[in-house]
Chains A and B, each alone.
Chain A
Amino acid sequence: DAGVTQSPTHLIKTRGQQVTLRCSPKSGHDTVSWYQQALGQGPQFIFQYYEEEERQRGNFPDRFSGHQFPNYSSELNVNALLLGDSALYLCASTSYNEQFFGPGTRLTVL
């Protein structure tokens, strides 16, 4: 049984560009959450998707948006990239009573 997978592993973009990150949850998990982990910091909650809708949202601007597909996989989109968006982006998939994290996507904005 594959765990949570994320793609790509690493990504380099320039300021003002747009980026899409992808996450496939663990088999049987229907809820996906996204977190941003800046260097030297703990992860910060971006949002959570359940049944293809955003259920909870953290304190992130509208430049951060997402989507969940019928197979429960999810995308995180970030528009108008800023230098401060450079971070490790983590996806977590959840079923009742368990939450698992993927390996993350390292985004560098130049």
Chain B
Amino acid sequence: AQSVTQLGSHVSVSEGALVLLRCNYSSSVPPYLFWYVQYPNQGLQLLLKYTTGATLVKGINGFEAEFKKSETSFHLTKPSAHMSDAAEYFCAVSSNAGGTSYGKLTFGQGTILTVHP
């Protein structure tokens, strides 16, 4: 079984400040890890993903995340927050069980990011 824990349901930062959203996962098999963003009344947009290879992953809009196996973590960061980053962020885990295309995603509870001027 796989699970995801996002530490902090709400994070508030000032514009220009560092954004750090925390995600820890549990998986009995090598994980695939994802960060999605959801704006109000919209679906999910993929920010970045880790499957294999380089553990530091760069995504869209200046976000990046680092896969740390020893810490079972996949924290999302952005050096400088922008007002347009205000949204809800979801960390998710999957696996390539069966060798086919992505299996089910297991999501965390989400973190709402607020950016203050």
Contact = CB atoms under 8 A, between A and B. Distances in A.
Contacts of B105: 33, 35, 43, 45, 92, 99
Contacts of A95: 101
Contacts of B44: 43, 90, 92, 101
Instruction: Name the residue among A99, A103, A104 with the largest chain B CB count within 10 angstroms.
Output: A99
B45 A48 contact: no
Contact of A42 (B102, B103, B104, B109): B109
Interface string B17-52: 000000000000000000010000111111000010
Interface residues of B, number: 22
**Interface bin, chain A:** 20 to 34
Nearest to B107: A42
Closest 8 CB pairs of A and B: A42-B107, A45-B104, A101-B44, A101-B43, A103-B43, A96-B101, A94-B101, A43-B107
Interface of B: 4, 36, 41-46, 51, 90, 92, 100-110
Interface of A: 4, 31, 33, 35, 40-45, 48, 50, 55-56, 58, 90, 92, 94-97, 99-104, 106
